[in-house]
Amino acid sequence: MMIYKGYEAIVEFDDDAEIFHGEVINLRDVITFQGKSVEELKQAFHDSVDVYLDFCLEHGEEPEKPFSGKFVVRISPNLHKAISIRAKKEGQSLNSWIEKRLCEL
């Protein structure tokens, strides 16, 4: 795992091509990079993130931030009702109740 300016990337090694390649994983936009050495790979990662941020700035766009902590989950109305009631019985907001359950995984 590599981290730069809050952007996290995973890296794989292609044995046939003898090259490392990586991809930023904590956003929807696509940022990739590659290098033949660890040093080259790190520099390419930093450069790719910086190019992305510069591109957004030049085009007046807000760069996508690494995960905001918000996501939409679609569930059945019956399940929604059941967990809402359960959260209220336990004196919690729906978000807090769900977060607690997810942390138990």
Residue 99 lies in a domain: yes
Q: Assess if residue 65 is contained within a domain.
A: no
pLDDT of residue 70: 78
Question: Could you list the residue range(s) of the whole structural domain that residue 93 is in?
Answer: 72-105
β-partners of residue 34 are 21
Are 54 and 78 part of one and the same domain?
Answer: no
First to last CA, the chain: 22
63: in domain: no
- Say if CB 53 and CB 63 are below 8 A apart: yes
Q: In terms of residues, how long is the chain?
A: 105
Judge whether residue 28 has pLDDT over 90: no
CA nearest neighbour of 42 among 20, 15, 64, 14: 20
Segment 63-87, tens digit of pLDDT: 988 777 778 899 999 999 999 999 9
Whether residue 15 is found in the same domain as residue 54: yes
Residues 7 and 38 grouped into a single domain: yes
Q: What is the count of structural domains for the chain?
A: 2
**7 and 46 share a domain?**
yes
User: Do 53 and 78 share a domain, yes or no?
Assistant: no
CA distance 95 to 98: 5
Question: Tell me, what's the pLDDT at 58?
Answer: 96
Q: Is residue 33 within 8 Å of 9, Cβ to Cβ?
A: yes
